[in-house]
Structure 1
Amino acid sequence: MFKHVFGPVPSRRLGVSLGVDMVVPKSCNMNCVFCECGATKKLTLKRESFKDVDEIKNEIQEVLKSVKPDYITFSGSGEPTLSKDIGEVIEWIKKNTDVKVCVITNGLLLKDDKVVEDIKNADLIIPTLNSVDNLIFKKINRPSVESDVSQLMEGLKNLSEKYSGEIYVETFIIEGLNDSDEHTQKMIEFLKNIKFSKLQLNTLDRPGTEMWVKPASQETLKRIKERYNRNGIMNVEIVGEMKELEKKIELNAELVKNMEEKRKYSEKELEKIYKIEK
Structure 2
Amino acid sequence: MEDISSIVFGPVPSRRLGRSLGVNNIPPKLCSYSCVYCQLGRTISYSTERRQFYDPKDLVEAVSRRVEEIESRGERIDYITFVPDGEPTLDVNLGKEIDGVKSLGIKTAVISNSSLISLEEVRSDLSESDWVSLKIDEIDAKRWIRINRPYGSTKLDDILEGIRSFSVEYGGYLATETMLVKGIQDAGDIEKIADFISSLESVKRSYIAVPTRPPAETWVTPPDEDFINTSFQIFSEILGSDKVEYLIGYEGDDFSVASDVIASLLSITSVHPMKKEAIEKALAENGYEWSAFEELVNDKKVVELKYRGETYFMRKIRTR
Shorter-chain TM band? 0.7 to 0.9
Alpha carbons of 1:232 and 1:32: their partners in 2 closer, same or farther (altered >3 Å)?
closer
Following superposition of structure 1 onto structure 2, how do residues 218-233 of structure 1 map, counting pairs within 5 Å? Answer: 218-233=225-240
Q: Over the residues paired in the alignment, what is the CA RMSD in angstroms?
A: 1.8
Higher Rg = 2
Residue in structure 2 matched with residue 194 of structure 1 by the alignment:
200
Structure 2, unpaired ranges of 5+: 71-75, 258-320
Shift of 1:213: 1.2
Identity across aligned pairs (percent)?
Answer: 29
Question: Deviation per CA, 1:114-169, whole angstroms, max 9, x where unpaired?
Answer: 11111212111001000100000000000024123212211210110111101110
Residue in structure 2 matched with residue 276 of structure 1 by the alignment:
none
What CA distance in whole angstroms lies between the structure 2 residues aligned with 1:122 and 1:200?
A: 19
Of 163-172 and 227-236, the range deviating more from structure 2: 227-236
Residue in structure 1 matched with residue 45 of structure 2 by the alignment:
42
Residue in structure 1 matched with residue 84 of structure 2 by the alignment:
76
What CA distance in whole angstroms lies between the structure 1 residues aligned with 2:36 and 2:69?
A: 36
Residue in structure 2 matched with residue 236 of structure 1 by the alignment:
244
What CA distance in whole angstroms lies between the structure 2 residues aligned with 1:56 and 1:71?
A: 16
Residue in structure 2 matched with residue 153 of structure 1 by the alignment:
160
Contact 2:109–2:129 (8 Å) recurs in 1: yes
* Secondary structure, counterpart of 1:170 in structure 2: strand
Of 155-164 and 9-18, the range deviating more from structure 2: 9-18
Matched to 1:69, the amino acid is I
Residue in structure 1 matched with residue 144 of structure 2 by the alignment:
137
Q: Does 1:182 align with 2:184?
A: no
Structure 1, unpaired ranges of 5+: 247-278
What CA distance in whole angstroms lies between the structure 1 residues aligned with 2:79 and 2:52?
A: 23
Contact 2:47–2:151 (8 Å) recurs in 1: no
Residue in structure 2 matched with residue 121 of structure 1 by the alignment:
128
Contact 1:4–1:20 (8 Å) recurs in 2: yes
What CA distance in whole angstroms lies between the structure 2 residues aligned with 1:51 and 1:165?
A: 26
- Identify the structure with bigger relative contact order (alpha carbons < 8 Å, sequence gap 6+): 1
Contact 2:30–2:44 (8 Å) recurs in 1: no
Contact 1:18–1:69 (8 Å) recurs in 2: yes
Per the normalisation by structure 1, the TM-score is: 0.82
What CA distance in whole angstroms lies between the structure 1 residues aligned with 2:256 and 2:238?
A: 36
Residue in structure 1 matched with residue 69 of structure 2 by the alignment:
66
Shift of 1:65: 1.5
Per the normalisation by structure 2, the TM-score is: 0.72
What CA distance in whole angstroms lies between the structure 2 residues aligned with 1:14 and 1:244?
A: 13
